[in-house]
């Protein structure tokens, strides 16, 4: 073993020792958080890692920046072979991966190709930051410096690797080993060297050490950088919420007599996964870019919330992990001192941030968890919510309507209630808006008429129905939400309800994904799904007139983004002769919220511009004469938007049930 090997071993032990120390330190911070089981369904989780982390599926939603990242990411993985090879050479100098045979040929060829691609990608990434000034990447000097250091280190790794290979080829008299395929390195070798020489020997040693030192410095810089995601993104993707109910909120155990805290006030109330989210944020700003609240000038940035979780963790977790009992740091909390109340109340829970985040961070859960603290522990919430909570408690609806009037909309329609006869195939869950809102009552009637004429056997609960609990739950009032959910479940189970159809995406989402948490297991479908089926089966017959109408459809977040229902509301409209369905620029999974979700329907919008006007403007730009929706909240927001632009004479907002009814032979 030569001096070089001994020096290398000392450097190697120091570098990995320091990295191990940092991993241990950060894992101890994660342990400060609450327990949560994210170890189930390993197969599904691995599939997600393959698709999202290795396949970079979310990153590629932004094709330009995504392609740059894919090149850097895959280049990184491919260069790992060169790194491992160089590290092993530190212990045993003649080592190569040559024994892998043809696979080695592939690795060496791809390394050469990717070295060019990665250099171009790094230069383009620097261009976007320093010349193009892409808004979502403009996030303070510290963040830019961090990104620049990492990009330059990546550049150094590639240069070192190329330099090492180029010098080695010259030292071997321009002969590559049997399975080595390095066209670029061979070309550069001929360009810079005349053959084996002391200069080439020196260059090899220089670039080899450069390669080793840059890689070891890089990996030890990461725990102190926003690029720690290089280590955490794969685990974070592995542990993210899985299944169809990925937007379902976790229930609080309100029966726990020992519980001293409900919701999240500080980092020790977060789960370990939520703390890991903080350590995984790359500050890429994709969530910020997609956020309707941020886009309309509200004081909310989903990115900032996650970064603040990390900042507060770095401040408080070391003390908690070390068992320190008193410190001035404890006088502050994550909530109020880092995340402001108005940020939390500005969120519509649209889920766009979670949809776009390339490392599957769960912003909405963190936001609602903090709202839970505000409502349940501190009674700190906007004034408007006093009446909402009161109405929910006494009238079982967020509005000041009498619960005994809930079924008035159905008078004269010959619709049976469950109390009268519980033998129907479907329970039509009408929802609060469908029951009380004068405009949406028309939708309930239209949908009921369509079902009756198509021969669907359905019932309603009438005055026994209560608000599904979604509004209270998203507003952080878990106590009220659970009360309503449990009471509804009791009613539904007493009647032996199996199938539910509803025209409200919020009811739909809640009944389908959150009621099972409390023992309510039903087959739930949205009215768009049933209508699409009935049209397909010919049970609803469409007119054969040539209308010449232009319709644009607005995706409800709770139907589209939360439940992947994009085509069913569109399909029957497309089948109506003479209707041209035109899309807004932001549509389907890139759709823009109406501004009403997460209880925002019941809150004043005083900051910035109005979200519904932003969306309506986009809808009006399509020159459609009908804006179609499939959600009562969206309908209200879009109607208000159309009024604010003084376009009510020219443009109508209609539910898909109304459009289908008007264009069916029933009408
Ligand atoms: S859920 Fe929607 S409104 Fe809330 S932070 Fe995310 S993108 Fe913004
Ligand atoms: S939370 Fe996700 S999308 Fe937002 S900045 Fe961080 S990594 Fe990017």
**d(Cα 101, Cα 302) in Å, to the nearest integer?**
48
- pLDDT, mean of each 10-residue run, the chain (667 residues): 92 97 97 96 96 94 88 86 92 94 94 92 92 86 91 94 96 94 96 95 96 96 93 97 89 94 98 98 94 97 97 98 96 97 98 97 98 98 97 96 97 97 97 98 98 98 98 98 98 98 98 97 98 97 87 98 97 95 97 97 96 98 98 98 97 98 88
Q: Whose CA is nearest to atom 8 of ligand 2?
A: 284
How far, in Å, is the centroid of ligand 1 from the Cα of 25?
Answer: 31
Q: CA-CA distances (angstroms) from residue 660 to 443, 539, 541, 550?
A: 11, 12, 9, 14
CA atoms lying within 13 Å on the CB side of residue 626: 20
Ligand with an atom nearest the CA of residue 596: 1
Distance CA 261, CA 378 (A): 10
> Ligand 1: which residues within 6 Å by Cβ?
290-293, 300, 302, 347-353, 363-364
Other Cβ atoms less than 10 A from the Cβ of 39: the count is 9
Candidate from 288, 291, 292, 370 with most ligand 1 atoms within 8 A of CB, to mutate: 291
How much distance in Å is there from the Cα of 378 to the middle of ligand 2?
29
Please identify, by atom number, the ligand 2 atom nearest to the C-alpha of residue 285.
5
- Determine the Cα angle at 312 with ends 308 and 317, to 5°: 145
Cα of 310 from ligand 1 centre, angstroms: 19
CA of 522 from ligand 1 middle (Å) equals 29
The finding on whether 233 has its CB within 6 A of some atom of ligand 2 is no
ipTM for this model: 0.99
The answer to whether 355 touches 555, Cβ cutoff 8 Å, is no
Helix (H, G, I), strand (E, B) or coil at 655: strand
Give me ligand 1 centre to Cα 596, in Å: 12
Tell the residue number behind the tokens 């289908």, with chain if given.
660
CB-based contacts of 448: which residues, under 8 Å, 6+ apart? 410, 413, 415, 428, 458
Q: Which of the listed residues 288, 300, 599 should we mutate to test ligand 1's pocket, taking the one with most ligand atoms within 8 A of CB?
A: 300
Q: How far apart are CA 521 and CA 160, in angstroms?
A: 60
Which residue owns the Cα nearest ligand 2 atom 2?
A: 357
Smallest CA separation from ligand 1 atom 7, residue:
291
- CA 527 – CA 349 distance, rounded (Å): 22
Q: Give me the pLDDT at residue 65, please.
A: 85
C-alpha span between 236 and 357 (Å, rounded)? 11
Return the SS3 of 647: coil
Atom of ligand 1 nearest to the CA of 305: 5
**Residue 230 CA, ligand 2 centroid: distance in Å:** 14
Contacts 24+ apart (CB under 8 A), 163-167: 163/203, 163/206, 163/207, 163/210, 164/86, 164/204, 164/207, 164/208, 164/211, 165/112, 165/189, 166/192, 166/193, 166/203, 167/193, 167/200, 167/201, 167/203, 167/204, 167/207
Distances (CA, A) of 369 to 264, 266, 345, 377, 488: 5, 10, 12, 11, 24
**pLDDT score, position 299:** 94
Substitution site in 139, 237, 361, 362 for ligand 2 pocket (most atoms within 8 Å of beta carbon):
361
Angle, alpha carbons 402-398-570 (nearest 5°): 110
Provide the token pair at 491: 């009613």
Protein residue whose Cα sits closest to atom 6 of ligand 1: 353
Q: Is the CB of 359 under 6 A from ligand 2?
A: yes
pLDDT for res 75: 81
Tell me the per-residue pLDDT of 347-363, one tens digit each, with 9 for 90 and over. Answer: 999 999 999 999 999 99
Domains and CATH numbers, the chain: 3-30+62-238 (1.20.950), 267-377 (1.10.1060.10), 394-525 (3.40.50.1860), 534-662 (3.40.50.10700)
DSSP assignment of 137-152 equals G---HHHHHHHHHHHH
Task: Please give the distance, rounded to the nearest whole angstrom, from the Cα atom of residue 367 to the centre of ligand 1.
Answer: 9
**Is 437 close to ligand 2, i.e. is its CB under 6 Å away?**
no
Is residue 567 within 8 Å of residue 575, measured between CB atoms? no
CA separation for the pair 417, 464 (Å, rounded): 9
Nearest ligand to residue 237 Cα: 2
Of ligand 1's atoms, which has the minimum distance to the CA of residue 349? 1
For residue 21, what are the contacts with CB-CB under 8 A and spacing of at least 6? none
CA 355 – CA 349 distance, rounded (Å): 11
Q: What is the number of the ligand closest to the CA of 344?
A: 1
Q: What are phi and psi of 655, to 5 degrees?
A: -80, 155
Nearest CA to ligand 2 atom 6: 281
Please give the number of the atom of ligand 1 that sits closest to the Cα of 593. Answer: 2
d(C-alpha 478, C-alpha 264), whole Å: 13
Ligand 2 centroid, distance to 311 Cα (angstroms): 15
Tell me which residue has its CA closest to atom 8 in ligand 1: 291
Which residue bears the tokens 């290979």?
165
How much is the pLDDT for 667? 60
Counting from 1 in the atom list of ligand 1, the atom nearest the Cα of 294 is 8
What does DSSP assign to residue 339?
B
How many C-beta neighbours within 10 Å does residue 133 have?
9
The structure tokens listed for 371 are: 């709202």
- Ligand nearest, relative to CA of residue 357: 2
Q: Is the CB of 366 under 6 A from ligand 2?
A: no
């Amino acid at each position: 073993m030569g001096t070089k090997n001994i020096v290398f071993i000392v450097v190697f032990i120091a570098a990995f020792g320091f990295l191990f120390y940092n991993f241990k330190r950060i894992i101890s911070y994660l342990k400060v958080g609450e327990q949560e089981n994210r170890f189930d369904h390993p197969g599904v989780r691995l599939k997600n890692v393959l698709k999202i982390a290795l396949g970079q599926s979310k990153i590629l939603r932004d094709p330009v920046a995504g392609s740059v990242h894919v090149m850097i990411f895959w280049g990184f993985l491919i260069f790992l072979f060169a790194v491992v090879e160089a590290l092993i050479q530190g212990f045993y100098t003649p080592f190569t991966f040559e024994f892998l045979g043809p696979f080695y040929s592939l690795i060496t060829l791809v390394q050469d190709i990717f070295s060019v691609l990665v250099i171009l990608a790094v230069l383009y990434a620097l261009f976007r930051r320093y010349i193009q000034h892409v808004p979502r990447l403009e996030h303070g000097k510290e963040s830019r410096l961090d990104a620049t250091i990492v990009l330059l280190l990546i550049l150094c790794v590639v240069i070192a690797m190329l330099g090492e290979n180029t010098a080695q080829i010259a030292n071997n008299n321009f002969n590559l080993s049997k399975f080595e395929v390095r066209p670029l390195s061979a070309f550069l070798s001929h360009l810079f060297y005349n053959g084996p020489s002391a200069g080439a020997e020196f260059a090899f040693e220089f670039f080899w050490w450069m390669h080793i030192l840059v890689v070891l410095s890089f990996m030890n810089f990461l725990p102190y950088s926003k690029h720690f995601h290089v280590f955490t993104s794969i685990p974070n993707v592995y542990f993210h919420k899985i299944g169809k109910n990925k937007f379902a909120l976790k229930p609080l155990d309100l029966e726990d007599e020992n519980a001293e805290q409900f919701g999240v006030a500080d980092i020790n109330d977060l789960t370990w996964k939520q703390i890991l989210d903080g350590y995984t944020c790359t500050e890429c700003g994709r969530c910020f870019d997609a956020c309707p609240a941020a886009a309309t000038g509200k004081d909310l940035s989903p990115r900032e919330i996650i970064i603040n979780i990390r900042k507060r963790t770095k401040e408080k977790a070391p003390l908690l992990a070390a068992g320190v009992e008193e410190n001035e740091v404890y006088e502050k909390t994550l909530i109020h001192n880092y995340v402001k109340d108005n940020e939390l109340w500005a969120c519509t829970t649209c889920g766009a941030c979670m949809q776009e985040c390339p490392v599957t961070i769960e912003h909405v859960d963190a936001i609602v968890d903090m709202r839970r603290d505000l409502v349940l522990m501190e009674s700190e919430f906007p004034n408007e919510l006093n009446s909402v909570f009161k109405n929910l408690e006494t009238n079982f609806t967020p509005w000041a309507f009498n619960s005994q009037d809930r079924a008035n909309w159905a008078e004269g329609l010959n619709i049976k209630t469950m109390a009268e006869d519980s033998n129907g195939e479907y329970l039509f869950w009408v929802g609060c808006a469908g029951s009380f809102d004068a405009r949406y009552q028309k939708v309930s009637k239209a949908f009921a008429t369509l079902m009756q004429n198509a021969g669907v056997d359905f019932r309603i609960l009438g005055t026994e129905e209560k608000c599904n609990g979604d509004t209270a739950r998203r507003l952080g009032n878990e106590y009220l939400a659970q009360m309503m959910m449990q009471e509804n479940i009791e009613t539904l189970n007493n009647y032996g309800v199996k199938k539910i159809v509803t025209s409200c995406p919020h009811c739909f989402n809640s009944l389908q994904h959150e009621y099972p948490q409390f023992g309510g297991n039903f087959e739930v479908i949205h009215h768009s799904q049933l209508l699409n089926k009935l049209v397909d089966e010919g049970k609803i017959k469409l007119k054969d007139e040539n209308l010449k109408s232009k319709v644009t459809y607005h995706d409800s977040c709770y139907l589209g983004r939360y439940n992947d229902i994009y085509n069913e509301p569109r399909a029957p409209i497309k089948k109506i002769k003479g209707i041209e369905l035109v899309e807004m620029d932001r549509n389907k999974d890139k759709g823009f919220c109406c501004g009403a979700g997460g209880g925002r329907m019941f809150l004043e919008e005083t900051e910035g511009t109005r979200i519904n006007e932003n969306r309506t403007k986009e809808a009006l730009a399509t020159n459609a004469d009908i804006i179609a929706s499939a959600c009562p909240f969206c309908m209200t927001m879009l109607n208000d938007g159309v009024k604010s632009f003084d376009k009510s004479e020219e443009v109508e907002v209609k539910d898909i049930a109304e459009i289908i009814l008007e264009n069916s032979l029933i009408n």
